[in-house]
Amino acid sequence: MLRRKSAQSVNCFEIHIGGEQETEVFTKMAESNLTPGTILEDTFLKTSSGDERAKKWGLFATGVVGGTLLALYAVTTPFVAPAFRKICLPYVPATSKQMRNVLKMLHLRSGHLVDIGSGDGRIVIAAAKKGFQAEGYELNPWLVWYSRYRAWKEGVNRNAKFYISDLWKVDFSSYTNVVIFGVPEMMPGLEKKLQRELDESARVVACRFPFPHWIPDYTFEEGVDTVWVYDLVTLKKKTHLGLVYKQSAKITFKEI
């Protein structure tokens, strides 16, 4: 409802909408030819336009926040999820010294190599450059894709392959060289799995943590850079004969 008031040379209109009184004063010069209907229509159009803009900005802000949260979830989940597994194998890149020690223990060997928990692919790529047909298994898809990119960039993608897989579901029987940067919780189960699946010609190189029951044939370095070398031919022979393992030999680079 619209009721006109007079005030000298000013046109004033009191607007009643939906039973609620909202008074809006439109001040115009007396010579203005705007009608009350035109003013009312203009008022509604401006209000509607403002509401529409606010709604669009609200939708835009909601989309930005939602998209950001989704992106963070997609990026962080592969790194956080392993912590909720029964046995967590965290992503801790091998140092340059650890890589040199591992590769030294594979000196003069060849064939099929696997890195269990390959991370960013540095061990697999380095082994491929040494002539191995190297493969890595990793649960984190981002790390696998990054490893594939690095292998392609460094020109060894034909000899370096990476797969998204749980190590407990992989059959390692085709590998003659095994590298593992493990954690204490996983070593007992992995020890049994490898002894059951690997051929006598296989060699296992462990870094950071040794296997709990196997006695290594060789050890090299100390502390976090220590590597333990296990030849399956020795392990299986002694297991078959029921002999007690001898103490491992400590070697230096000059001996190999």
Cβ neighbours of 55 (radius 10 Å): 10
Question: Where residue 28 falls among pLDDT bands split at 50, 70, 90?
Answer: very low
With residue 143 as reference, give the H or E element that holds it. Answer: helix 141-153
Question: Where residue 77 falls among pLDDT bands split at 50, 70, 90?
Answer: very low
With residue 122 as reference, give the H or E element that holds it. Answer: helix 122-129
Query: Which residue carries 């690095």 as its tokens?
Result: 150
Contact residues for 165 (Cβ-Cβ < 8 A; gap 6+): 137, 138, 139
Global pTM reads: 0.64
With residue 88 as reference, give the H or E element that holds it. Answer: none
- 20: amino acid identity, one letter: E
Q: Return the pLDDT at 197.
A: 96
Q: Are 198 and 173 in contact (CB under 8 A)?
A: yes
Q: Return the pLDDT at 181.
A: 94
Q: Are 159 and 133 in contact (CB under 8 A)?
A: yes
Q: Return the pLDDT at 75.
A: 43
pLDDT tens-digit profile of 243-255?
544 455 555 444 4
Query: Average pLDDT in the 100-119 region?
Result: 94
Contact residues for 106 (Cβ-Cβ < 8 A; gap 6+): 113, 127, 130, 132, 177, 179, 203, 205
Q: Return the pLDDT at 242.
A: 57
CA–CA distance, 129 with 186 (Å, rounded to integer): 29
Q: Quick check: 78 pLDDT over 80?
A: no
Query: Which residue carries 């046995």 as its tokens?
Result: 87
Spans of all domains in the chain:
2-61, 96-255
Listed range (34-38, 59-63, 78-82, 238-242) with the worst mean pLDDT: 78-82
With residue 137 as reference, give the H or E element that holds it. Answer: strand 133-138
Q: Quick check: 124 pLDDT over 90?
A: yes
Burial (CB < 10 A; 0-12, 13-18, 19+), residue 14, is middle
Topology of domain 96-255, per CATH? Rossmann fold (3.40.50)
CA–CA distance, 73 with 2 (Å, rounded to integer): 55
Strands 249-250 and 218-220, by their bridges, are parallel
Question: Where residue 39 falls among pLDDT bands split at 50, 70, 90?
Answer: low
Q: Return the pLDDT at 236.
A: 80
CA–CA distance, 229 with 248 (Å, rounded to integer): 9
Query: Average pLDDT in the 91-105 region?
Result: 92
Question: Where residue 71 falls among pLDDT bands split at 50, 70, 90?
Answer: very low
Q: Return the pLDDT at 105.
A: 95
CA–CA distance, 162 with 153 (Å, rounded to integer): 14
Q: CA-CA distances (angstroms) from residue 37 to 2, 25, 34? A: 9, 14, 8
